[in-house]
Chain A
Amino acid sequence: MMTTPTETVIEVAGLTKRYRDTVAVDDVSFAIEKDRIYGLLGRNGAGKTTVMSILTAQNFATSGDVRVFGQHPYENAKVLRRMCFVRESQRYPDDALPSHAFATARLFFPRWNQELADRLVADFQLPMRKRIKKLSRGQLSAVGVIIGIASRAEITFFDEPYLGLDAVARQIFYDRLLEDYTEAPRTVILSSHLIDEVANLIERVLVIDRGRILMNEETDAVRDRAANIVGETAAVEAFVRGREVIHRESLGHVSSVTVLGALTDDDRREVAASGLDIAPVSLQQLIVRTTQHANGEHPSTQEGALR
């Protein structure tokens, strides 16, 4: 998939954000590559919004360094105008209609596409003659989503953009985002806790938990990190002995056990020989388990003796 050399658009080094008695972001370092779609995944309060706010200079770091397009974003119009971040709890001018918000966005985002905005308004069936403060939660989310997509900003952030949107509207968002991404590539950072819903959209996974980055990897590589071994319980147990198990379920004498670590060819032959099946692990499940694992909430059971 990767053919061109990667170019970094965001560099974060040792970023920490401390509030009076909590640490929202804890010494985080990562890089974001150009024209890729990232999933910023994590629980509520994990620090997703704080990170995005600091990257767009809406909020301030306690310590650490953030560079966007090689520069500091704070009070830097040259950098900021290439980014778009509509918050999940975004506030709009009191009297504003959706059309006012879009007309204003058109003034400030150099790559704004009006046709696209009009089409999205129709797709989301957004009432244009109703004040934004009177819109439903879902319609409010739609305003933010439309600004995010139609701005075509080189780095676009979506902060849990689906709140209040029904399943159909959420699918429209995913479809339109992907379509327009193909037409006008850009870097997208999408924060979400509906992990499986965005799993097919995101190319890279950035997992944040309690202010720390737990994972920054290709989505495909993450999927390969674990496997479900399914089959007769005794045979499954025999196979997983000595491996790191992160989850197990059984029904009658059939078990499904999730083991960490990529399977080797030998493993695959062993699985086949034992009459077992390998099933893919859902991204959500894997991330949930990894998060719990890192927190020691649900300690994984190491099978047998360590060799």
Chain B
Amino acid sequence: MNRTLNVIRMQLVNRQTFVWMPLIILGGSFALSMLVYAMIPVDAPKYGGAAQAPLWYLLAVGIQALTMTFPFSQAMSVTRREFYLGTLLTSGLAAVLLAAIYMIGGLVEQATTGWGLNGYYFYLPWVWQAGAFGAGFFYAVMAMLLFIVGFWAATIYKRFGGTVLTIVLVSLGFLLVGLLWLAIRADMWDEIWTWVATAGVVGTTAWSLVLAAVLAGIAFLTLRRTVP
């Protein structure tokens, strides 16, 4: 267990990757949003999608967590399981921290009616429909999911190479389009939207968590036979 926790410290050697870059992206996209909101001469509430930026960056963090640190972990005589669990714990910590920032930010935005500009970066009505903790749950899971997607793709790349990864990604694309086609043919759009609406943010997030767990499981099975 101790060695697994030490993997967290190993990952955090990349302070730039795990700490500074997400903070720069968060601060930068926040400042840009505010500047844009200030320029819009409308009194209605202004919402934007800039808060996604740090979450998408976690995709890159997930890739780097494997490609940069896995070979070094092997030289440190760390087992693959220890590396895997330690890395997921690290991303979990990062996700919870990020979600906490978003929760506090959203509460401040509600209290100040959008920084006096009526412009919202953290507070998006759909995300906040179940309150601050619902929103925190959403952001933490999205952060984890994107990290895991990056980590999953990187393990496939590391073990099977770029061609296989590309084939897998293209196949997933076909699968999604196929599902879309099925949904259109069966005339299920309305049902799908109703389902999303009833599931709400917490329900949808819970399903995202299931997806994250499945990908994490595949990543572990792939990593078990990966050579640094």
Let me know if B118 is at the binding interface, CB within 8 A.
no
Task: Using CB atoms, name the residue of chain A closest to B80.
Answer: A75
Cα A147 to Cα B72 with chains together (Å):
12
| Chain B residues whose C-beta falls within 8 Å of the C-beta of A29 in the assembled complex | none
Let me know if B222 is at the binding interface, CB within 8 A.
no
Known A-B contacts A60-B227, A107-B6; the reply to A93 vs B77 at CB < 8 A is no
Interface hits, B102-154 → A, CB 8 Å: none
- Contacts between the two chains (Cβ within 8 Å), count: 83
Are B71 and A104 neighbours in the complex by a CB distance under 8 Å?
A: no
Are B17 and A95 neighbours in the complex by a CB distance under 8 Å?
A: yes
Cα A101 to Cα B68 with chains together (Å):
13
Are B72 and A108 neighbours in the complex by a CB distance under 8 Å?
A: no
Let me know if A20 is at the binding interface, CB within 8 A.
no
Q: Number of A residues whose C-beta is below 8 Å from B?
A: 32
Interchain CB contact (< 8 A) of A84 among B9, B14, B77: B77
Interface hits, B66-84 → A, CB 8 Å: 68-69, 71-72, 74-82
Q: Number of B residues whose C-beta is below 8 Å from A?
A: 28
Task: Using CB atoms, name the residue of chain A closest to B76.
Answer: A108
Interchain CB contact (< 8 A) of B79 among A80, A105, A109: A80
Are B68 and A93 neighbours in the complex by a CB distance under 8 Å?
A: yes
Let me know if A263 is at the binding interface, CB within 8 A.
no
Let me know if B13 is at the binding interface, CB within 8 A.
yes
Interchain CB contact (< 8 A) of B9 among A59, A87, A92, A104: A104
Distance to closest chain A CB from B144 (angstroms): 21
Are A147 and B77 neighbours in the complex by a CB distance under 8 Å?
A: no
Are B79 and A76 neighbours in the complex by a CB distance under 8 Å?
A: yes
Binary per-residue interface labels of chain A (133-172) against chain B in the complex, 1 for a CB within 8 Å, 0 otherwise: 0000000000000010000010000000000000000000
| Chain B residues whose C-beta falls within 8 Å of the C-beta of A93 in the assembled complex | 10-11, 13-14, 68-69, 72
Are A80 and B78 neighbours in the complex by a CB distance under 8 Å?
A: yes
Known A-B contacts A86-B75, A90-B72; the reply to A58 vs B14 at CB < 8 A is no
Q: Could you tell me which B residues sit within 8 Å of A by CB distance?
A: 3, 6, 9-11, 13-17, 64, 68-69, 71-72, 74-82, 224-225, 227-228
Given A56-B74, A105-B76: 13 more A-B contacts, CB < 8 Å: A58-B74, A60-B227, A75-B79, A85-B75, A87-B228, A91-B71, A93-B10, A93-B69, A95-B14, A95-B17, A104-B6, A108-B3, A147-B75
